[in-house]
Amino acid sequence: VDTHVHLAQVFARARIRGNLLEWLNEAIYPEEIMFADLDHVRKAAGCFVRECIDVGVTTANVFLSSHKEASELCFEAVAESGMRAIMGMVHMDQDAPDALLVPAGRAISETEDLASRWHQHDRGRIQYALMPRFALSCSRDLMTQLGTMKRETPSLYVHTHLSETIKECRAVLEAYPEHSDYLAVYESFGLLSDRTVMAHAIHLSAQELLRISAAGAGVAHCPSANLFLKSGVFPWSGHTTAGIRFGLGSDVGAGYQINPFQVMRDAYNVQDKLFLRPTDLFWRATLGGAQALRLDSTIGSLDEGKDADFVVLAPPCDLPSGGPSENEDLEDALAHLIFTGDDRWVVASYVRGRSLTSETV
Ligand SMILES: [Zn+2]
């Protein structure tokens, strides 16, 4: 389960341009502008779907671009692939190149149109998320209208970014001097709910952690992206102590691979003091991610009554066994899988018992 990934950035990976705000302006916005070109979108959507299937991502929580036609095409491609996804058109009406800005009125009517077609599509395999890119890229008017839409249709998801870098947090508080922290901005517009997923959530106060937990909102921890943009260390213990539902996200294109093995390895490596257990890492990439997306009653584990979403792995050699106890045996086998595994081990990816093949995408 990839809890945070940008389809519109599959071709913009590994562009070293400095920290978050510099990287957005110099590497990412120019790429997303190209989503006005539907041929480009078709190629990106095909690449995204093939890569997800090949690396064993069966469910993805996906950021698109701010173009309606491109979003429509991406929904079609992902729906046809058989994958499970939560997706939406990105909202931004300020603080970015003009070619990416969509005024609030048009953005809302386009979103209503897309959501009416795709929300709960194919018995909920595809769901719709409202996507204010982050607090700085949306006007108060647009945020207010998104909050109204969420109130009128509570089953819609909200997917956004929160507190990725210190510089971003400072800029948000300058734009919203009436609030004492970043999270309060989303709360004030009615955008924090148990179907809200916020990517990063690094630089947070104890108060913010408790409020995320109380709202039942999900967090997408994106360690590869945090390393690549040097954004800071995700407070893993802070989130677990507060009881927050969180999973792992590749955050391609700040993350460089959708490959969940790489994301699990980076989740281990980014922690400078903790020694995370392999079972914790593996759980966050599966059932923990499903919990963050509120899909855990349907997917995330091989339990009776759930949909048969799973991945078949074939390591080239037997995993090590024979540890001193069954428990240690499991930890060691999973560690071997996580740290030495890669996408070549993925033989097949299944959603609802149906094998997905990238050849037909
Ligand atoms: Zn992101």
Rg (CA), the chain: 19
Coil/strand/helix, residue 104: helix
Length of the chain: 361
pLDDT reported for residue 361: 61
Between CA 141 and CA 103 the distance in angstroms is 10
CA 199 to ligand 1 centroid distance, Å: 6
Ligand 1 center to 209 CA (angstroms):
20
- 85's tokens: 């996804």
The pLDDT score that the predictor gives to residue 79 is 96
Q: Is 203 helix (H, G, I), strand (E, B) or coil?
A: coil
| pLDDT for the residue numbered 322 | 61
3-state secondary structure 29-91: HHHHHHHHCHHHHHHHHHHHHHHHHHHCCCEEEEECCCCHHHHHHHHHHHHHHCCEEEEECEE
DSSP letter at 253?
Answer: T
d(CA 54, ligand 1 centre) in Å:
22
Q: Which two tokens stand for residue 137?
A: 């890229």
Distance, CA 309 to ligand 1 centroid (Å)? 25
So what's the pLDDT on residue 330? 87
Cα gap 224→231, rounded to integer Å: 10
Give the model's pLDDT for residue 317.
81
Using a 10 angstrom Cβ sphere, with 0-12 exposed, 13-18 middle and 19 or more buried, the burial of residue 123 is: exposed
Per-residue pLDDT tens digits of the chain, which is 361 residues long: 999 999 999 999 999 999 999 999 999 999 999 999 999 999 999 999 999 999 999 999 999 999 999 999 999 999 999 999 999 999 999 999 999 999 999 999 999 999 999 999 999 999 999 999 999 999 999 999 999 999 999 999 999 999 999 999 999 999 999 999 999 999 999 999 999 999 999 999 999 999 999 999 999 999 999 999 999 999 999 999 999 999 999 999 999 999 999 999 999 999 999 999 999 999 999 999 999 999 999 999 999 999 999 999 998 887 776 666 667 788 988 999 999 988 899 999 999 999 997 766 6
> What separation in Å is there between the alpha carbon of 198 and the centre of ligand 1?
9
> Could you tell me which of 232, 229, 257 has the C-alpha nearest to residue 47?
257
Spatial distance between the Cα atoms of 254 and 266, rounded to a whole number of angstroms: 13
| SS3 category, 350 | strand
